[in-house]
Amino acid sequence: MVRFPQSPVLSIHGLIKDVGPLSSLDGKMLRVVSGVSLIAERGQVTALLGANGAGKTTTLECAQGLQKRNDGSISLLGQDPAAAGADLRSRVGVMLQDGGLPPSARPLPLLRHIAGLYAHPWPMEDLVGRLGIDTFSRTSVRRLSGGQKQRLALAAALIGRPEVLFLDEPSAGLDPQSRQLVFDLIAELRDSGMGIILTTHLMDDAQRLADYVYIIDGGRNVAEGTVQELLQRSPAAAQGEHVRTLVFEAPAGLDLAAVLPDDVDVSESRAGSYTVTGALTPRHLSALAQWWEAKGVMPASLSLQARSLEDVFLDISGKDIR
Amino acid sequence: MSTAATRETQQPASLLRRVLLQGKYEALTMLRNGEQLILAVVLPLLALVGLTVTPFLDGMGSSRINVAVPGILALCAMSTAFTGQGIATGFDRRYGVLRFLSTTPLGRGGLIAGKVLSVLAVLCLQVVVVGLVALALGWQPTAAGWLPGLALLALGAAAFTALGLLVAGTVRPEATLAITNLLWILLGALGGIVIPAERLPAAAQAIVHFLPSGALGESMRAAFLDGAVNGGATLILLLWTVIAGAAAIRWFKWN
């Protein structure tokens, strides 16, 4: 996808951020962001995808004006967030990773207070109803479940009807129903023209929500594109073929490699569980089926999957635990 | 809901409204907190009664209660501005409340202004409650003492707010809790705030004059007992405000 940014809601170029000095580094500074660049458009969900510690949250906090950058440029709605005043902050909504809600507060009075900071807040009843906050509006924050806290934090970020919305790990702690509710609302806000920037380490979130994805690793951009574009990043996909994975369970010890052409990867990840990955075609499936028939084998389970963003992510950022 | 694309551009509420709202919200939060209320009202009243039934202050002025009340009002300022606001801010910092509010139109400046306002609002209530109880117990303040007395109380609140924010912004909230409570007890008992320096051990007298607690206690007593302004003590209080304020600005960590 070629992008022609007209007036992006956020553009970051060459962001550098050092933290410290840290005693664990003999008093030296640690560079947590070393040159991240990104553009986020109106009416789109832009995702920053990366492992824990990749520099996603720090990048967002520089964009929100919460942290001072060491180098690089940031333009949020055409202004530098480091020097911004209340006018810019009133047009930007922020949902922090840890919520930022006082434990002793009750949801409704807290939201009313925050709404009072804006000239044209979102009508309270509507917002509270949509996010299902009316069912716990008088319970103190410390007694709320993780999902309820997340929904309240989202409401607090939206109460000023922002043009730009930052969401740091929005689905953390959400049960499946809350997740659906929150994802539907995010999609609706995106369609209404809001520019939404979110961080996540959950590939599934990015795959479901994001129009454009930046993969961040070690404080740097390592890949970017639409979800479709990223899914097609592999040697086989580069030749126009779609990579798929076939997983089946059958008696252990079958010599699959003898049956399938060597343009696909074959592995028996544990005894009796086989994985075939590559640009699979009906020819591959047919070869397998004929072989099963000849051997009298019926797989106990069988599934064919498109390559997931998680596979791409692991390809790019490596499988080592850091 | 009107859509983001078609509606008017969002505006912040006016600066005055934002600061007033934050001040009101924080003051109500403080007054709803039982522990804070004990610290802000119950303990000062107990100290007031304690000083009027014991002979600690005999011979210092026209009556025990006349000597006690200015110090108790000073203690109220320390309770609310230093211990109360310090603890609240420390935990707000832990829970990310400071960071979140910094991203709203309130901003960091509005947040601090709101905190100062909430301290002053709670302090006004304390003055009314302590003043009424003291009058009932026979307090006879010098009329000329009110104006300098209340101004000094506001200055003391500023000095202790700056010190409270300095502690809250630099150490963990548990440490803030311990430090501000411990200092409240130590300064309250031995810091020259309710018990004048003359009645303290000789070793303590030399330093008490230079402490914010001693400076506030002394200047409050000068105001309400004699209608006088103690220039030296006022200057020391002013210095504490400026130095602690500058240190808080320099070292306060928002996250």
Query: Do A174 and A279 belong together in one domain?
Result: no
Give the span between the Cα atoms of A61 and A82, in whole angstroms.
10
Q: Determine whether the interchain pair A163/B4 forms a contact, defined as Cβ–Cβ distance below 8 Å.
A: yes
Domain assignment present for A313: no
A86 in the same domain as A188: yes
User: What is the structure's pLDDT at B6?
Assistant: 45
Domain that holds residue A64: 10-230
Is A149 found in the same domain as A15? yes
Distance between CA atoms of B78 and B187, rounded to whole angstroms? 9
Distances (CA, A) of B31 to A89, A105, B28, B37: 30, 13, 5, 6
pLDDT of the residue at B199 = 87
Residues of A in contact with B17 (CB under 8 A): 116
Percent of chain A with pLDDT over 90: 55
Q: Calculate the average pLDDT of chain A.
A: 88
Q: State the nearest Cα–Cα gap between A86 and chain B, in angstroms.
A: 4
Distance CA B97, CA B116 (A): 17
- Is A76 in the same domain as A219? yes
Q: Which residue of A has its CA nearest to B111?
A: A117
Instruction: State pLDDT tens for residues B155-213.
Output: 999 999 999 999 999 999 999 999 999 999 999 999 999 999 888 888 888 899 999 99
Chain mean pLDDT for chain B: 93
Q: How many domains does chain A have?
A: 2
Spatial strand order in the sheet of A10-22: A28-40, A10-22, A71-76
Region for A176 from its dihedrals, namely left if φ exceeds 0, alpha if ψ lies in -120 to 50, beta otherwise: alpha
Q: Which of B5, B10, B254 lies nearest to residue A91, judging by beta carbons?
A: B10
pLDDT per position as a tens digit, A212-269: 999 999 999 999 999 888 877 765 555 556 778 888 998 888 888 888 888 888 888 7
Q: What is the pLDDT of residue A320?
A: 59
Judged by CB atoms closer than 8 Å, whether chains meet at A66 and B13 is answered as no
Output the pTM of the full model.
0.85
Is residue A262 in some structural domain?
yes
State how far residue A304 is from chain B, nearest Cα, in angstroms: 41
Determine whether the interchain pair B107/A85 forms a contact, defined as Cβ–Cβ distance below 8 Å.
Answer: yes
Please indicate, yes or no, whether residues A16 and A112 belong to a single structural domain of this protein.
yes
- Whether A83 contacts chain B with CB within 8 A: no
Contact: A117, B105; criterion CB under 8 Å: yes
Q: What is the CATH number of the domain that holds A95?
A: 3.40.50.300
* Residue A1 reports pLDDT greater than 60: no
Nearest to B21 among A116, A161, A192 (CB): A116
Q: Give the orientation angle of helix B212-226 with respect to helix B231-251, to 10 degrees.
A: 140
Percent of chain B at pLDDT > 70 equals 97
Same domain, residue pair A153 and A286 = no
The greatest distance separating any two alpha carbons of chain B, rounded to the nearest whole angstrom, comes to: 75
Q: Do A102 and B12 touch (CB under 8 A)?
A: no
Q: Which of B42, B49, B75 is nearest to B221 (CA)?
A: B75
A65 touching chain B per CB within 8 A: yes
Residue A53 lies in a domain: yes
> Is B38 within 8 Å of B126 (Cβ atoms)?
no
Query: Taking CB atoms and an 8 Å limit, are B15 and A86 in contact across chains?
Result: yes
Domain check: are A63 and A208 in the same one? yes
In a domain, A319, yes or no: no
> Which of the residue ranges A183-187, A313-317, B117-121 would you say has the lowest mean pLDDT?
A313-317
- Write down the pLDDT at residue A240: 59
pLDDT given for residue B8 in this prediction: 72
Q: pLDDT for A99-120, tens place per residue?
A: 899 999 999 999 999 999 999 9
A201 and A250, same domain (yes or no): no
A45 pLDDT more than 50: yes
Q: What is the ipTM of this complex?
A: 0.88
State residue A123's pLDDT score. 96
Span B114-143, average pLDDT: 96
Closest residue on chain A to B22 (Cα): A113
Residue A117 lies in a domain: yes
- Residue A106 phi/psi, 5-degree rounding, is -105, 140
> What are the CB-based long-range contacts (under 8 Å, 24+) for A287-291?
A287/A259, A287/A260, A287/A261, A288/A246, A288/A256, A288/A259, A288/A260, A291/A259
| SS percent in chain B: helix, strand, coil, step 5 | 75, 0, 25
Give me the helix-helix angle, B64-77 and B107-136, nearest 10°: 160
CATH number at A248 reads 3.30.70
Got the DSSP string for A134-196?
GGGTTS-GGGS-HHHHHHHHHHHHHTT--SEEEEESTTTT--HHHHHHHHHHHHHHHHTT-EE
Tell me whether A107 touches chain B (CB under 8 Å): no
Q: Are residues A260 and A190 in the same domain?
A: no
CB contact under 8 A, A156 and B100: yes
Last residue of one domain, picked from the residues A230, A259, A290: A230
Query: CA-CA distance, B188 to B65, in Å (whole number)?
Result: 17
A288 shares a domain with A215: no
Provide the pairing of β-strand A220-225 with A212-217.
antiparallel
- CA A80 to centroid of chain Cα atoms: 25
For residues B60 and B66, what is the distance between their CA atoms, to the nearest angstrom?
A: 9
Indicate if A48 and A116 belong to the same structural domain: yes
